[in-house]
Structure 1
């Protein structure tokens, strides 16, 4: 009996020990639910919610490489073939607020040309309730619309130049919702680094002038309005250069007939004897006039016109011509071919004539571009 009792006690102890170990066994934790990326279609295609937030993000960009033969901007170009490669990264955000969408737009650019690499913040701006603050294209260029769908559409410049059109600015855009829009902008007078501000120039008519942006504090100003109804649209915009104390006015008419579209744009310089930011031109060796110390701007006026034809869903043809009071004529034509979606092959031919100096130039570009 004693042995039987010991056996029963041992069995009970082992059972209790096993039960205790079972209670302390490691149990695998339940996996956290996966948080899938949510599509944010309120602001257009490509946006998605940043996980854990109510901010929508869109990522895009492009890679481009192109060969250029000669130069439409100046005659007697010394480089026969110029190869240029560019990459851009676009980041856009949007968040809904009680004042409308709070958005940001950022574009970063990398260029490689002739063994030289450069990096640039092309755009960086914030928009809310119709207001934009930060770096963007001058409203003198972007509000009425750029020239034709041409690679080198600004041989005769239609906006701030000659170096670039991207300016720090504070802009308000009004959209009535019935086709009427308006814009008012103050723009940084020095953020595009125009070198002609620091030099003296002599016109071919013998008049001389010189300006300087030292200690400049007043911004430039741009204002415009437009109306669009059906296939027709018209816009008028004016810009005032606070350094030169002159400006320019442009008017543009657009027509879209579906497979074919066309535009006509004219500009007037408040003083044709001066080169201001909004009636700009290029000052380069060998250009118009031949001497670098002379101006190559509109004169009193300039005009641009062009058209585009959608041949089929993969092929589009474009043409543009422009002429100035200073007797500069520029023409260009191209074909935009998309063998597959988001991949472009674009050949273009250009011709420029500087009649006042009997100079002319032919040029060509072959571009390959992948956007995403």
Structure 2
């Protein structure tokens, strides 16, 4: 027997012993990996949160805006007004949904970050960045509670193609609790909303004092706004949607001598789809208000480029002499747009709006009344899926009524402006 044979035999023996010992060791299995699964119950983009039956969708967008707007001829300090402006806006949304035995349980959360050089007229100096909650609400069946679009609003959350041009109608989100009853395609909604969210201004319009207290001091919220909507929605399969809406709004003075005054707003809105033209539609919203002019868009936050082009105004005006009372401002507004899809990549939109604001006779400024209209259009081109380039042009005109002393050289002059801009938008 050679040394080589001895070594080979020893190695074989050791391997045999090792295999036998390994067979006696306890066997363990790797833990199962739970992969993210697609949730198809609520449309594309949803996935199951691991370990739960809740579906989550994460989406968002980033917008880069660049625009120019001319300055009205009668504007004071014209050289201090920004005519070119840049703005960057980013949004991210979280939409979590769970189907329960009692209906859909949903929570929606949208954050917005924005960087700009100040769009508030007339100066807009100093770069400022903001980080805000744009929406945050929960839904359970027909119940909606949180910070969400008022059901009164139709044009703004569902259409509102405007990039930069001002527009009229109920705008923004409100703190509310509402319930919607669904009857096939018909629906009815009752909403209780924070009164402070619907105030057109911080004062009652007139200046003066009573017993050393400013008469235009607004009192604390006592009664929330009451909003009701009824309508018919056939957008998913048919011609469109129509709704009528109404709202009650309390105006309450901080001074007991003035008491309170109830304002209201009523309106109608809807859209029509044209199936013979792919992607073609018309949408409109109109309202009439007394003492609740925020529902017309008065006091809105759209950039206007100059204080002469802003359309602020109070809900009510306080008389400066006895008998002390609150007189309601009146107004009406209509906003509409029409869209046409030429190809899968190219779409055009035309829009326009008109606002008439009428302050009561006790208003200290005879130029408190005004008419306002806006017309414009835009084109949008989808470069690749999720990336859209758009361009917009518009003209806006504010016509004050009566005389009085204002910042203009001639208070009867019409203030008008033209603007143009581009928007680059990435959605995901």
TM-score tier after normalising by the smaller chain length? 0.7 to 0.9
Q: What secondary structure is seen at the aligned counterpart in 2 of 1:277? A: helix
Q: What secondary structure is seen at the aligned counterpart in 2 of 1:313? A: coil
1:24-173 paired onto structure 2 within 5 Å: 29-70=28-69, 78-114=81-117, 115-142=127-154, 146=158, 148-152=160-164, 155-160=166-171, 165-173=172-180
Separation in 2, partners of 1:237, 1:275: 14
Aligned-pair CA distance for 1:47: 0.8
1:349-364 paired onto structure 2 within 5 Å: 349-356=393-400, 357-364=413-420
1:182-221 paired onto structure 2 within 5 Å: 182-191=188-197, 196-197=201-202, 199-202=203-206, 210=216, 212-214=218-220, 216-221=221-226
**C-alpha contact 1:87 1:109 (8 A) present in aligned 2:** yes
Q: Which moved more, 1:324-333 or 1:223-232?
A: 223-232
Q: How many residues align?
A: 341
2:336 matched residue in structure 1? 305
Q: Which moved more, 1:248-257 or 1:87-96?
A: 248-257
Determine whether 1:239 maps to 2:243.
no
Aligned CA distance change for structure 1 residues 145 and 369 (closer, same or farther; 3 Å): closer
Separation in 2, partners of 1:172, 1:293: 31
Q: Which moved more, 1:99-108 or 1:33-42?
A: 33-42
Q: Deviations over 1:209-268 (max 9, x none)?
A: 846142x23111111111245325321111222236212111123211132211333211
Aligned CA distance change for structure 1 residues 111 and 365 (closer, same or farther; 3 Å): same
Q: Deviations over 1:283-336 (max 9, x none)?
A: 88633589x8889x9942112222111111001100111112242111121001
Aligned CA distance change for structure 1 residues 134 and 54 (closer, same or farther; 3 Å): same
Determine whether 1:331 maps to 2:375.
yes
Aligned CA distance change for structure 1 residues 191 and 202 (closer, same or farther; 3 Å): closer
Q: What secondary structure is seen at the aligned counterpart in 2 of 1:149? A: coil
**C-alpha contact 2:204 2:218 (8 A) present in aligned 1:** no
Determine whether 1:343 maps to 2:374.
no
Q: What secondary structure is seen at the aligned counterpart in 2 of 1:53? A: coil
* Superposed CA RMSD: 3.4
- TM-score using structure 1 length: 0.81
Aligned-pair CA distance for 1:108: 0.6
Separation in 2, partners of 1:249, 1:195: 16
Q: Which runs of 5+ in 2 are unaligned?
A: 1-9, 118-126, 208-214, 253-261, 316-327, 357-369, 401-412
Determine whether 1:368 maps to 2:424.
yes
Separation in 1, partners of 2:94, 2:268: 32
Q: What secondary structure is seen at the aligned counterpart in 2 of 1:141? A: coil
